[in-house]
């Protein structure tokens, strides 16, 4: 038999306990003791889900309007962790509901598409853009993470370096969308010049398997507007994906996004575009499905997130809430 001494600190004093232990009952003969008088200081930004943090900057990368149609930033690879301060969110109720589909628009033209894809220019008016609505109604938590990311990037790159990073990423996003437009035009036997850009070649490689399933392109980089709710946007593509007409949105990422929930507000953006198309007199057809394609910088196969009508309807209701919040803020600012 061996004696085992255990020291326990209680109320500022140490108490010694001596216990006889049998070798048969001993599984571990070493102890790790954490003393209360030594405690590692915790920062205010610990235990945050870093993949979630990295995805938050999609707010600055999903612009499709003429003013901010290309990506402003890409995702951050660093594993910095932040902890968002406690914040209570209130349950919001939708005041005015408008259906995703337009009962006044005939679906007779559903199987007919023009020889050339529609490419409607954005109208000059005071209507809100989809990306502006989403950005200005960004949840407080996500705005917090985004600001922390920006501060850290400036700390690492300097102000001028950060501005150069933004400029470079903006141009890369613009080139990627232009390349996708050219590829889809070429696939439809339409001729359009395309210059090779090595900075986006991996992104193109990433989406090749998706392009094989896209046919019947009806619109490319075309403006859409909801004539009842007074908002507008620029849709990447409207085409058949595996035989189903969809609004298709292209995104780029350095990190895998295998699930739709990893894409945050991108599904709301697609739902907003679908609703706008269905209530836009420039389009004589309706859409009830969406496809979000995430292309990767390393060239790995893109993730394709198909959104059926039920899923689009759910995100449509969420979009309507954000749109009401946006308009409410505008009223308050004018008072």
Which one from 76, 240, 249, 265 is the annotated catalytic residue? 249
24: pLDDT strictly greater than 80: no
Is 216 domain-assigned? yes
Catalytic residue among 64, 71, 148, 251: 251
Task: Output the pLDDT for position 68.
Answer: 38
How far apart are the C-alpha atoms of 278 and 161, rounded to whole Å? 43
Residue 117 has pLDDT above 60, yes or no: yes
User: Where residue 233 falls among pLDDT bands split at 50, 70, 90?
Assistant: very high
Q: Is residue 173 part of a domain?
A: no
- Beta 128-129 vs 231-241: how paired, if at all? parallel
Q: Among candidates 316, 317, 315, 295, which has minimal Cα distance to 304?
A: 295
214 occurs within a structural domain: yes
236 noted as active-site residue: yes
- Is 328 inside any structural domain? yes
Highest mean pLDDT (candidates 12-26, 62-76, 133-147, 220-234): 220-234
| H/E element, 174 | helix 140-187
DSSP 82-144: --PPP---PPP--SS---SS-TTS--TTTT---SS-B-PPPP-SSPEEHHHHHHHT--HHHHH
The answer to whether residue 88 sits within a structural domain is no
pLDDT-wise least confident of 90-94, 130-134, 317-321: 90-94
Is 249 catalytic? The answer is yes
Q: Which of 64, 76, 148, 236 is catalytic?
A: 236
182 within a domain of the structure (yes/no): no
Cα–Cα distances in Å, from 17 out to 5, 6, 14, 79? 6, 5, 10, 44
Question: Is 65 among the catalytic positions?
Answer: no
Residue keyed to tokens 């232009």: 178
Is 209 inside a domain boundary? Answer: yes
Residue 192 has pLDDT above 60, yes or no: no
Instruction: Report if pTM > 0.75.
Output: no
Q: Establish if 151 belongs to a structural domain.
A: no
- What total of structural domains would you count in the chain? 1
With the C-alpha atoms ordered 257, 258, 262, 263, is the resulting torsion angle positive or negative? positive
- Give the Cβ contact number of residue 203 at 10 Å: 25
Burial of 291 (0-12, 13-18, 19+ CB in 10 A): buried
Parent domain of 299: 127-137+198-334
What's the confidence (pLDDT) of residue 318? 96
Burial 232-263 (b: 16+ CB within 10 A, else e): bbbbbbbbbbeebbbbbbbbbbebebeebebb
């Amino acid at each position: 038999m061996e004696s085992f001494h255990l020291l326990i600190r209680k109320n500022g004093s140490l108490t010694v306990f001596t216990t006889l232990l049998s070798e048969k009952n001993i599984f571990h003969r070493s102890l790790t003791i954490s003393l209360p008088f030594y405690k590692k200081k915790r920062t205010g930004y610990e235990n945050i889900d870093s993949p979630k943090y990295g995805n938050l900057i999609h707010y600055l990368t999903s612009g499709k309007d003429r003013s901010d149609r290309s990506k402003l930033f890409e995702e951050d690879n660093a594993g910095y962790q932040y902890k968002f301060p406690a914040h209570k969110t209130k349950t919001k109720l939708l005041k005015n509901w408008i259906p995703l589909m337009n009962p006044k628009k005939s679906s007779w033209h559903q199987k007919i598409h023009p020889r050339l894809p529609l490419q409607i220019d954005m109208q000059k008016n005071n209507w809100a853009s989809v990306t502006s609505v989403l950005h200005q109604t960004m949840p407080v938590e996500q705005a917090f993470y985004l600001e922390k990311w920006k501060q850290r990037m400036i700390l690492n790159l300097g102000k001028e370096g950060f501005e150069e990073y933004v400029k470079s990423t903006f141009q890369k996003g613009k080139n990627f969308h232009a390349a996708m437009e050219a590829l889809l035009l070429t696939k439809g036997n339409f001729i359009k010049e395309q210059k090779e850009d090595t900075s986006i070649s991996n992104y193109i490689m990433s989406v090749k398997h998706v392009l094989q399933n896209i046919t019947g392109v009806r619109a490319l980089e075309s403006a859409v507007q909801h004539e009842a709710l007074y908002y507008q946007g620029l849709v990447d593509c409207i085409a058949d994906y595996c035989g189903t007409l969809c609004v298709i949105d292209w995104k780029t990422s350095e990190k895998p996004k295998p699930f739709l929930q990893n894409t945050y507000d991108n599904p709301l953006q697609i739902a907003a575009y679908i609703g706008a198309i269905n209530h836009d007199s420039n389009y004589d057809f309706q859409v009830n499905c969406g496809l979000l394609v995430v292309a990767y910088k390393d060239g790995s196969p893109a993730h394709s997130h198909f959104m059926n009508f039920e899923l689009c309807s759910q995100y449509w209701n969420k979009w309507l809430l954000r749109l009401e919040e946006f308009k409410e803020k505008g009223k308050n600012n004018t008072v």
